[in-house]
Chain A
């Protein structure tokens, strides 16, 4: 019998509150966590807002050694791993570590620490040749995200296949898709998967400033992220991590685990168009959606909710709307579609997993989170984006989509494992 992968544990660390409960409260109440940047002085930047998480690593159980060693993104991931594992009820000590794998997504890895260290080593940019004598032993770990997978594995006692998936803004979906592949091909029975990014740092802000991707709106930071609204003018950077315990279905059933959802279908596509531009017709995103639905054996009409990429750039929201219409046909108008980036910002690679967590929680509560700040829809974005307030809605199958630089388009379908298969 074909092996199937299900989510049995969730851990989330997002702006507006640490932990899955705080995260869901924020979303279901339609509150926003965007604000004026406090992590550094944003005054020289075009964009001065972000969705920051108030995170105290010590409060969340990290040891002084761990805090010194790990970048903020790694800390986020490890805290989310602990919540997810506890939530799953798995006794990790009783598992065969060889059958537990790791697939963690991240777009920018340990940016914050890399930038901090390089500022010191380059004497604030004055030295072309960094003074290695002052380098932390962990500098190499900050240059590459692979360390995040190792730290996650150590936190969960995993010794199976492990890698970081670094496809940029779709990494949070692609990492989970990778985990599903490994469960299905019997390379692992349990996967610790998800994504983390903490990109709110000067170099990242400056890079997005330079291409006008982030919003210059800073007079009203709490309402700065406006997906699908006619007044949208760029995304709001966020930070966050979400981690899932993903198990093979039969094993999860045998141990009586609570199953949030089956990871029923996944697909990724590249559009071969432009590093930052999108094809107006959304063709590759539509194809990823169709392929993911096919794999899930779910017809487009059975999608109860679409968790959108919804970044709030002019280009993305139209691209995505076109893609959903192409893939779902008339059903695109009937199914609720929302962007939680309106509330928690865009944590780049982290966002796909944070949004997947929101999708699984929507299935659990039969409530779909809203798109905050949506007052005046763009006439070209004419779907039901669940403006402002969450909605009670029977949710048995969810489509989560992501889109990123490089032309990457990804889709995951979540469904109840006991559904009748088409």
Chain B
């Protein structure tokens, strides 16, 4: 079975669905290296986002994943690393 990939587009979609978007932030802009907090997502929004990623991709994320990965780029990398490991 091919490894499922978690993309930035997936992340943006899940953020929008689960946590909405702050008016001052353009998620379609250059957000890859911006801090989640700067994008308007605090701990609760990230917990919701993490839960949605887990359900959709059938993985279990570490409790500390958002503490360790504070930007979309590193989060996407971390989730993909976990997806590969899960195969």
A contacts B directly (C-beta below 8 A): yes
- Which residues of A pack against B, CB within 8 Å? 210-212, 274-277
Contact B47 A212 (CB under 8 A): yes
Contacts of A211 in B (CB 8 A): 44, 47
B23 an interface residue at 8 Å Cβ cutoff?
no
Residue in contact with A277 in the complex, picked from B42, B48, B51, B63, CB distance below 8 Å: B42
B82 an interface residue at 8 Å Cβ cutoff?
no
Contacts of A212 in B (CB 8 A): 47, 63
Contacts of B51 in A (CB 8 A): 210
Closest B residue to A233 using CB positions: B63
Contacts of A210 in B (CB 8 A): 47-48, 51
Closest A residue to B63 using CB positions: A212
B36-64, CB under 8 A of A: which get 1 and which 0? Answer: 00000011100110010000000000010
CA A283 – CA B74 in complex, angstroms?
Answer: 35
Additional pairs, 12, CB under 8 Å, beyond known A212-B47, A277-B44: A210-B47, A210-B48, A210-B51, A211-B44, A211-B47, A212-B63, A274-B42, A274-B44, A275-B44, A276-B43, A276-B44, A277-B43
**A contact patch SS:** loop
Contacts of B47 in A (CB 8 A): 210-212
Interchain Cβ contacts under 8 Å between A and B, 15 examples: A210-B47, A210-B48, A210-B51, A211-B44, A211-B47, A212-B47, A212-B63, A274-B42, A274-B44, A275-B44, A276-B43, A276-B44, A277-B42, A277-B43, A277-B44
CA A275 – CA B51 in complex, angstroms?
Answer: 19
CA A210 – CA B47 in complex, angstroms?
Answer: 7
Contacts of B44 in A (CB 8 A): 211, 274-277
Closest A residue to B48 using CB positions: A210
Closest Cβ of chain A to B84, distance in Å, is 25
Contacts of A277 in B (CB 8 A): 42-44
Closest B residue to A213 using CB positions: B47
Closest A residue to B47 using CB positions: A211
CA A211 – CA B63 in complex, angstroms?
Answer: 10
The 6 closest A-B pairs by CB, nearest first: A211-B47, A210-B51, A276-B44, A212-B63, A210-B47, A211-B44
CA A275 – CA B48 in complex, angstroms?
Answer: 14
Closest Cβ of chain B to A406, distance in Å, is 13
CA A14 – CA B15 in complex, angstroms?
Answer: 41
B69-85, CB under 8 A of A: which get 1 and which 0? Answer: 00000000000000000
Contacts of A275 in B (CB 8 A): 44
Closest Cβ of chain A to B39, distance in Å, is 17
Contacts of B48 in A (CB 8 A): 210
Contacts of B63 in A (CB 8 A): 212
Closest Cβ of chain B to A272, distance in Å, is 15
CA A348 – CA B42 in complex, angstroms?
Answer: 24
Closest Cβ of chain B to A55, distance in Å, is 33
Closest Cβ of chain A to B27, distance in Å, is 22
Closest Cβ of chain A to B79, distance in Å, is 18
Closest Cβ of chain B to A212, distance in Å, is 6
CA A274 – CA B42 in complex, angstroms?
Answer: 10
Closest A residue to B44 using CB positions: A276
Closest Cβ of chain A to B85, distance in Å, is 21
CA A274 – CA B63 in complex, angstroms?
Answer: 21
B15-46, CB under 8 A of A: which get 1 and which 0? Answer: 00000000000000000000000000011100
Contacts of B42 in A (CB 8 A): 274, 277
CA A334 – CA B47 in complex, angstroms?
Answer: 39
Closest Cβ of chain A to B51, distance in Å, is 6
CA A211 – CA B47 in complex, angstroms?
Answer: 6
Closest Cβ of chain A to B67, distance in Å, is 11
Contacts of B43 in A (CB 8 A): 276-277
CA A277 – CA B42 in complex, angstroms?
Answer: 10
Contacts of A276 in B (CB 8 A): 43-44
CA A211 – CA B42 in complex, angstroms?
Answer: 12
CA A412 – CA B47 in complex, angstroms?
Answer: 34
Closest Cβ of chain A to B37, distance in Å, is 12
CA A277 – CA B48 in complex, angstroms?
Answer: 15
Closest Cβ of chain B to A125, distance in Å, is 15
Closest B residue to A315 using CB positions: B43
CA A212 – CA B67 in complex, angstroms?
Answer: 14
Closest Cβ of chain B to A46, distance in Å, is 9
